[in-house]
Structure 1
Amino acid sequence: MNTKSFSISSKNIIKKWYFIDATDKILGRLCTLISHYLRGKHKEIYTPYMDVGDYIIVINASKIRLTGKKTKQKIYYRHTGHVSGLKKVKFSDMIINNPEKVIKKSVYGMLPKGPLGRLIFKKLKVYRDSFHNHHSQKPILLEI
């Protein structure tokens, strides 16, 4: 009996392009699906230490929604690095000014930390409205 274990190499990986319409989708549920596809966990060849995932295009990021009272209560924090440099931005303000950042920040938190996570994160493309410039990649629609 010949039992060789299969080890994936970078030349065996086929990366596809998918796009998702975020209109009226719940933020957390959408971002878990996005991170799942970015990491490649939907493939049989999934390997935790390699980038085997696909590219994801998200359109209509400004039409995403949250459940409950989170639209008024959710606050994003960041620190400038200076003394008393804590900055706060409400979700309701961020979805108006920079809706792409809402999805990117959520997905980034779900990816592995370190060089692999940063490499995977570069494959996420988020757009405010329905226009995107990746038509030549012939993306496949991902239904949720």
Structure 2
Amino acid sequence: MDTLSYKTISANKATVEKSWVVVDADSKILGRLASEVAMIIRGKNKPSFTPNVDCGDNVIVVNADKVKMTGKKWTDKVYVSHTGYPGGQKKTTPNELKAKSSALLVERAVRGMLPKNRLGSALFGNLYVYEGAEHPHEAQQPKEIKL
């Protein structure tokens, strides 16, 4: 037999089928929610997953203000960032971040679970987080997923 009866199919930008998904974060644990959302954004739940292509879905997270953390993480967990200047290290807790915006809390958790390269930056653009139950993406006809 000189020909193969099967071929490995790699997805590319033209052949990828992207859809819109709504995830309700009401009373979900932050890390578990973020890992599921990151997997959907990356496209790892699809049989046509290709590691170097944006083949995931667009994800809308609603009720981000009702997300939970276990234990004493609200006060004891510390997010560290640096401004780039000497002595520019800044530390914040999830409580302080939630006071600014609950959406930032979910976005930061999901971003940390995506690749740290240009593809990861592009994938992060497929995430839309809203604090309430309403979102402006009804025209895309998103389907709701239970995690």
* TM-score interval for Structure 1 and Structure 2 normalised by the shorter chain: over 0.9
SS at match of 1:110: coil
Deviations 1:18-55 (A, max 9, x none): 01111110000000000000000011100101110000
Matched, 1:68 2:71: yes
Which blocks of at least 5 consecutive residues in structure 1 are unaligned? none
Counterpart of 1:96, as a letter, is A
* Contact kept in structure 2, 1:62 and 1:96, CA below 8 Å: no
Distance 1:12 1:28 in 2: 31
Find the partner of 2:61 among 54, 58, 63: 58
Deviations 1:89-117 (A, max 9, x none): 11112112211111111111111111110
Distance 1:65 1:139 in 2: 24
State the Cα RMSD in Å: 1.2
Find the partner of 1:29 among 22, 29, 32: 32
Which blocks of at least 5 consecutive residues in structure 2 are unaligned? none
Distance 1:104 1:27 in 2: 10
Report how many residues are paired.
Answer: 144
Q: TM-score, with normalisation over the residues of structure 2? A: 0.93
Between Structure 1 and Structure 2, which shows a larger proportion of helix residues? 1
Counterpart of 1:82, as a letter, is Y
- CA displacement at 1:11 relative to structure 2: 2.1
Q: Which moved more, 1:91-100 or 1:119-128?
A: 91-100
- CA displacement at 1:61 relative to structure 2: 0.8
Counterpart of 2:105, as a letter, is V
% of aligned pairs identical? Answer: 38
Q: TM-score, with normalisation over the residues of structure 1? A: 0.95
